[in-house]
Amino acid sequence: MEVIPYGRQNISQEDIESVISVLKSDFLTQGPAVPSFEKSVSDYVGSKYAYAVNSATSGLHLACIALGVGPGDRVWTSPISFVASANCALYCGASVDFVDIDPITYNLSVDRLEEKLIAAEKNGLLPKVVIPVHLAGQSCDMERISLLGKRFGFRIIEDASHAIGGSYKATKVGSCLYSDITVFSFHPVKIITSGEGGMVTTNDDHISEHIYRMRSHGITRNPQEMTKPADGPWYYQQIELGYNYRMTDIQAALGFSQMTRLDEFVKRRHEIFQSYKRLLGDLDLKLPTLVDYAHSALHLYVIRVPNGGALKANRKELFERLRLHNVIVNVHYIPIYSQPYYTKFGYDSNQYPEAEAYYSEAISLPMYPDLTDSQLEYVRESLVKPIGHQTIF
């Protein structure tokens, strides 16, 4: 049996041709493919602006900069996320804190957030920015988070790295109806890919200008932003210290082409979700829950393996069993506060009982559009069938 990864890109002949056409064109970067990709995303999600960047990590950094995050500020996010959701605040010299997860959705718990905000307000330690992460592609309850943002005066960046193609209530994820900024990732395991890449969406004119400038060295060609009239048509000014976070046209051509199949990808992911429900429903596993206020993009399919359950294996044993069967599962994620780089900030894991319980039980099964029915059946078999030489008590 071939190797089945947990996630994998889907590349069509059209994708390949659109990349080749850029390679044969005048512009490999800063050409027309980037704005076309940006427009396809802003049209799809219903945002006023969309800016392509070379990764979601860069996008999160720019988002923090655009909201003025700096030394002395506090940024809160979910502990069950990729480290980039928190690193972006550290890049800006701010400190990071975590809000425990919800036991059903595994997203940052809005109840815990509210409690933590009430306590922080008393101590004068409110966050400047909260970064909800739409884990596995399922949106957080953004309307509630947005109301808390108004009440406690924080700004919101949605880490939607998993969630392009998903929706929340009547809006597409990325519309920024309930946030200041949304960031998507186009890494190959995500819903659509540009190789590496990300996109930042917003409806705010100032945030938009700031992100546009900081993506490219802090340089402006807009006379209104300059300190004096232009010396001539060649003139530009660097007015702050920015970065080169630009996406190439080669990447944008792939992303643009992938956008045309986005809904198809999400639809197939939902079919796989239903197949897993049928195939795994009788096993002693906790399958993922879809909530009624969101339509998940289903980036990940996370099961929880109860310790000492009927499969006679704990999470680690089941993980190893699947890998020995060539089902290359993964764990999303190791709590960020437990990473060695983060331990020096002194987090107390007792504050995150749901994240700890989740981390001890979670496995991400394969989830990507090209999975076949027979591969899905093989995943079930691999779960229930111990490896011959392995002793399981």
Ligand X SMILES: *Cc1c(COP(=O)(O)O)cnc(C)c1O
Residue 230 C-alpha from the chain's centroid: 40
**Following CA atoms 305, 272, 328, 302 in sequence, which dihedral angle do they give, to the nearest 10 degrees?**
-30
What does the alpha-carbon distance between residue 143 and residue 110 come to, in Å, rounded to a whole number? 10
Residue nearer to ligand X on the CB measure, 55 or 364? 55
Give the binding range for ligand X (CB under 6 A) out of 77-85, 113-121, 269-277, 379-387: 77-85
What residues numbered 113-172 form the site for ligand X, per CB under 6 A?
Answer: 133, 159, 161-162
304 binds ligand X (CB under 6 A): no
- Applying CB under 6 A, among 198, 242, 288, 335 the residue interacting with ligand X is 198
What residues numbered 309-338 form the site for ligand X, per CB under 6 A?
Answer: none
57 binds ligand X (CB under 6 A): yes
62 binds ligand X (CB under 6 A): no
Residue nearer to ligand X on the CB measure, 165 or 198? 198
Please name the residue that has the structure tokens 């605040």.
89
Answer whether 37's CB lies under 8 Å from 252's CB.
Answer: yes
Answer whether 186's CB lies under 8 Å from 253's CB.
Answer: no
* Pairing status of strand 301-304 against strand 362-365: antiparallel
Sheet containing strand 95-98, edge to edge, reads 49-53, 198-202, 181-185, 155-159, 129-131, 74-77, 95-98
Supply φ then ψ for residue 198, to 5 degrees.
Answer: -155, 175
- Applying CB under 6 A, among 34, 63, 84, 266 the residue interacting with ligand X is 84
What does the alpha-carbon distance between residue 230 and residue 263 come to, in Å, rounded to a whole number? 46
Minimum CB separation of residue 276 from ligand X in Å reads 21
Residue nearer to ligand X on the CB measure, 81 or 296? 81
187 binds ligand X (CB under 6 A): yes
185 binds ligand X (CB under 6 A): yes
Minimum CB separation of residue 139 from ligand X in Å reads 13
Residue nearer to ligand X on the CB measure, 366 or 383? 366
Minimum CB separation of residue 102 from ligand X in Å reads 16
Beta-carbon contacts of residue 145 (< 8 Å; ≥ 6 apart): 110, 113, 130, 132, 156, 178, 179
What does the alpha-carbon distance between residue 262 and residue 306 come to, in Å, rounded to a whole number? 34
Give the binding range for ligand X (CB under 6 A) out of 50-58, 96-104, 270-278, 319-327: 50-58
Angle in degrees, CA 152, 104, 393, rounded to 5: 140
- Applying CB under 6 A, among 47, 85, 194, 248 the residue interacting with ligand X is 85
- Applying CB under 6 A, among 42, 81, 194, 248 the residue interacting with ligand X is 81
Minimum CB separation of residue 298 from ligand X in Å reads 14
Q: Distances from the Cα of 335 to the Cαs of 131, 198, 304, 348, 356, in angstroms? A: 15, 23, 15, 12, 8
Minimum CB separation of residue 54 from ligand X in Å reads 8
Q: How many CA atoms lie within 13 A of 79 on its CB side?
A: 30
Residue nearer to ligand X on the CB measure, 236 or 243? 243
Binding residues for ligand X (CB under 6 A)? 55-57, 81-82, 84-85, 133, 159, 161-162, 185, 187, 198
